Amino acid sequence: MASNDEQRSATTIITTAAQSIAARLIANETTAKFTKAEISTTNLFNQSVTELQVLTSLDNVQQTADINTVTVINNNTVNVNVAIDQTKAPNNYQMNSVGLFAVDGDGKEVLYSVTVLKDPVYIHQDAMGSALGIDLETVVGQASNVEISVNPAGAVTNEILKAALADYVKADDSTVVHTADMRKPASDVAGIEEVNAKQDAIAYTPADDSKVVHDNKNGTEQLNGIQVQPFNKLSDTIGGRNLLLGTSSVKVRNPTWDKIINVDVTNLVGETLTYSVILDITDSKQGAIGVSLTPQDSSGKPIGDTVSSNSINWGNAGKIIATITIPAGASNLSIEERTNNTDQNPLAGSRKLEKGSIATDWTPAPEDKVNVSDMRKPASDVAGIEEVNTKQDKLTITPADDSKVVHDNHDNTITANGTSYDLSKSGLTSLQTIDGGSFNDLPLGTVFARGLADSPDNSPAFTTTTFYSSAWGGRKVQIAIADNTNRMFTRIFNDGIWTGWNKLADDSKVAHLSGANNFDTTPTVNSYPLLLASSLPSDLARLSQDANFTAKLQQNGQDVALANNTIARNPDTGVVSKPTDFTNLTVNGGKSVATRDDLKSLEASAWRPLTLANSTSGTILFKDNGDGTASLTGSANFTIAKGTTTLTPVITPPTGYTFTSLKWSKGTNNKGVYVTGNMTGVSYGISYIFDTSLSNGDICFLGSYDNTYTVTFSPSELTTLNTAAACNPALVSISKV
């Protein structure tokens, strides 16, 4: 939020859609009615005003709350009271934002405003019928156009009022003083004004209010700051004996939000029982606490009605009292000291469950006291307290060193050697169970963690202890023991980062040293014993020294060749690094193997096909004659545009060669090549001569009278030699490049 909001605990932003409705309300163009509120766990406090204004809905909505009342504050502001029914809460959750919805005169519902909280409000699921009310002061532009409503669910009906008034005792006419009953004549009776005047003239000392019993108007009274229940002689009964064992008048902090005490009431059916306890939430900044009594059958199912006590609001302490009659079929009484939205666990003490309808002062159960019958000495041999004090005054006592004394802080912690220890996190109480979340966020101390992220392995649960030291900026250590297997893991937290988990070795599977590198047992690998160096044979080959093998070596049944009987070859390229002369080398049963020189010689004298450009069919072969010339043979069809005056490449030499001159017979113009217009085998003589030349080492043609020609090099019936039926192949001059 903006800097102006930094000190505010909550801020309400009107959405863009609401601004449009407000403008229409001012212009008397529409009306508006607030319909509902949605409660979300999403924290939007740090979002900008612009980001909040464009919202149309909220994420992570936990429940929908009803509009209880809408009241006018001034002409452009109304107060919307929202009732959050905790009986409808899906679970315990934190309220971080509230979305208020309204519908305009056209029936269109929009998100009207978003209220964001700096600190969350804890909403507890409560079957006791609790509800949390919040007021949203909302700008509407024209309050007269907003429907002002009262939710009937939040109001008292005539029927409810009549039922409530029926319990009040009506005046008994026989106890009313009438004029006829007065023994003095009216002239002798002083009026109220005269009595007041006389009273003002009397000197009196006002009562000390701290010593006065106050009526709390709820069936209880306040005495010396403690809430007590007055005694009704007509209906109340007093028990006195504490039915709970192990109680104390010292207040100790409850280890959980809701403290549950189960009492066997199998033999108390039909009895009226009263439970009382001193509860202290003076250090809480929100919420309240109360007590509920629920009878249960042997299966734990509630039976009969649950009784709820008065409640104590945050910042206060007092005595909670609840009375119940045990119904038939009940075998257990569940006593629950239940918090409602508090931010601290309560302090509790002086717990007492007794027969009757009146709560008496706390006393321990008889089983918790030392009685006279328990004393081994007769009363005559027991010194009185005065005698003990007198004797004690004559004793020389060395006071204890307070720095070495363990102190009870009366808040479930103790202090020893200047360090405070929380008993709720020690082995003196049951471990706290944490379901969900991450191992990275576990509290200090030992907890039982189930289903957490960042766990050591896939075990379902771990008993985990987290240690902390403030040295060097803060250090943490975690030890996790798997719940269902004998595995232990450790990790540390340093510079704000948790390391990975390390699994500790199973000691039964570790080789132990005794003395200087001596194993006290023979180590094994997969149940096979390891051989020591001293037990190895003397003739065993070792990598650190030469070994002379007198017998042959084999691999997979085949002899291994010695180095002087092998050919050195590069393992990466396959090239033989040392020239070797093979004589009479044969393969496949005596067939001779050609050498690289043989292959090169064969390649040089072989006929090779040429690349033909602008050819539609045919093949022309090339052979290096080894004397600077090459022979051409074969035939091919070429398509040359008629009358083309630009040289067109038609025959390209092989890679590594270039044509330097033409040596075949030519026509009368010394440039022509004899060609035919078809492949009938008939020679047409020089009538189809067309120009040929060299360009960039390629044989090129110029266009002539036709655009398709067949060029034939001998041996063939069609030849470049005039009228020859057979002759040697045509020759061209070449050079290597």
Residue 549 has a pLDDT of 73
Give pLDDT tens digits for 420-472.
777 665 556 678 899 989 999 998 889 999 989 999 998 889 999 999 888 88
Whether residues 19 and 140 share a domain: the answer is: yes
Residue 677 has a pLDDT of 36
For the chain, the average pLDDT equals 77
**What span, in angstroms and rounded, lies between the C-alpha atoms of 708 and 641?**
8
Q: What contacts 556, CB < 8 A, 6 or more positions away?
A: none
**pLDDT at residue 234 tops 50:** no
Whether residues 152 and 53 share a domain: the answer is: yes
The partner residues of 273 in beta bridges, in order of sequence, read 324, 355
Note down the domain range covering 262.
221-368
What is the DSSP code (8-state) at residue 363? -
**pLDDT at residue 397 tops 80:** no
Instruction: Tell which wins on pLDDT, 667 or 379.
Output: 379
**What span, in angstroms and rounded, lies between the C-alpha atoms of 656 and 635?**
23
Residue 176 has a pLDDT of 53
Give pLDDT tens digits for 138-166.
887 666 666 655 555 544 444 434 444 45
Residue 516 has a pLDDT of 55
**What span, in angstroms and rounded, lies between the C-alpha atoms of 291 and 279?**
10
What percent of the chain is predicted at pLDDT more than 70? 67
181 within a domain of the structure (yes/no): no
User: Average pLDDT for residues 175-187, to the nearest whole number?
Assistant: 57
Give pLDDT tens digits for 295-315.
999 999 999 999 998 889 999
Residue reference for tokens 């009185």: 384
Q: Which of 57-71, 183-197, 342-356 has the lowest mean pLDDT?
A: 183-197
Q: What contacts 44, CB < 8 A, 6 or more positions away?
A: 52, 96, 97, 114, 116
Q: Which of 312-326, 367-381, 527-541 has the lowest mean pLDDT?
A: 367-381
Q: Which contiguous run of DSSP H or E holds residue 604?
A: helix 596-604
What percent of the chain is predicted at pLDDT more than 90? 27
- At residue 226, the 3 state secondary structure works out as strand
Residue 362 has a pLDDT of 92
Task: Please say which residue of 125, 158, 191 terminates a domain.
Answer: 158
Residue 318 has a pLDDT of 92
**What span, in angstroms and rounded, lies between the C-alpha atoms of 50 and 52?**
5
Q: Is residue 291 within 8 Å of residue 277, measured between CB atoms?
A: yes
Whether residues 338 and 435 share a domain: the answer is: no
Residue 683 has a pLDDT of 39
Give pLDDT tens digits for 512-564.
655 556 666 677 777 777 776 667 776 777 777 777 777 777 888 788 777 66
Residue reference for tokens 């005054």: 393
234 within a domain of the structure (yes/no): yes
Query: What are the DSSP calls for 234-254, one per residue?
Result: TT--B------SS--SS-EE-
Whether residues 127 and 237 share a domain: the answer is: no
Give the closest residue to 433 by CA, choosing from 447, 422, 423: 447
**What span, in angstroms and rounded, lies between the C-alpha atoms of 341 and 260?**
17
Residue 54 has a pLDDT of 92
Q: What contacts 146, CB < 8 A, 6 or more positions away?
A: 25, 31, 32, 33, 34, 70, 72, 78, 140
Whether residues 125 and 250 share a domain: the answer is: no
19 within a domain of the structure (yes/no): yes
Q: Is residue 64 within 8 Å of residue 38, measured between CB atoms?
A: yes
661 within a domain of the structure (yes/no): yes
Residue reference for tokens 């306040």: 222
Q: Which of 125-129, 157-161, 217-221, 481-485 has the lowest mean pLDDT?
A: 157-161
- At residue 534, the 3 state secondary structure works out as helix
Residue 618's Cα: distance from chain center in Å? Answer: 75
Q: Which burial class, exposed, middle or buried, applies to 610 when counting CB atoms under 10 A from its CB (0-12, 13-18, 19+)? A: buried
Residue 449 has a pLDDT of 93
Residue 643 has a pLDDT of 63
Whether residues 25 and 154 share a domain: the answer is: yes
176 within a domain of the structure (yes/no): no
Positions of E strands within 9-108: 10-14, 32-40, 61-74, 77-85, 93-104
Q: Which burial class, exposed, middle or buried, applies to 575 when counting CB atoms under 10 A from its CB (0-12, 13-18, 19+)? A: exposed
Q: Which value, to the nearest 10 degrees, does the dihedral of the CA atoms of residues 125, 129, 134, 138 take?
A: 110
Q: How many distinct structural domains can be found in the chain?
A: 4
Instruction: Tell which wins on pLDDT, 304 or 681.
Output: 304
Q: What is the CATH number of the domain that holds 229?
A: 2.60.120
Residue 678 has a pLDDT of 36
User: Average pLDDT for residues 503-516, to the nearest whole number?
Assistant: 70
170 within a domain of the structure (yes/no): no
Q: Which value, to the nearest 10 degrees, does the dihedral of the CA atoms of residues 235, 240, 241, 245 take?
A: 110
- Strand-pair category, 445-450 with 432-435: parallel
Work out the number of other CB atoms within 10 angstroms of the CB of residue 462: 26
353 within a domain of the structure (yes/no): yes
Burial 612-623 (b: 16+ CB within 10 A, else e): bebbeeeebebb
654 within a domain of the structure (yes/no): yes
Give pLDDT tens digits for 91-129.
999 999 999 999 998 889 999 999 999 888 888 887 766
Q: Which value, to the nearest 10 degrees, does the dihedral of the CA atoms of residues 550, 556, 560, 566 take?
A: 180
Query: What are the DSSP calls for 622-643, one per residue?
Result: EEE-SSSEEEEEEEEEEE--TT
Residue 201 has a pLDDT of 63
Instruction: Tell which wins on pLDDT, 263 or 399.
Output: 263
Q: Is residue 663 within 8 Å of residue 733, measured between CB atoms?
A: yes
Instruction: Tell which wins on pLDDT, 121 or 576.
Output: 121
**What span, in angstroms and rounded, lies between the C-alpha atoms of 345 and 289?**
10
**pLDDT at residue 569 tops 60:** yes
**pLDDT at residue 199 tops 70:** no
Residue type, 610: L
Give pLDDT tens digits for 248-298.
989 999 988 889 999 999 999 999 999 999 999 999 999 999 999 999 999
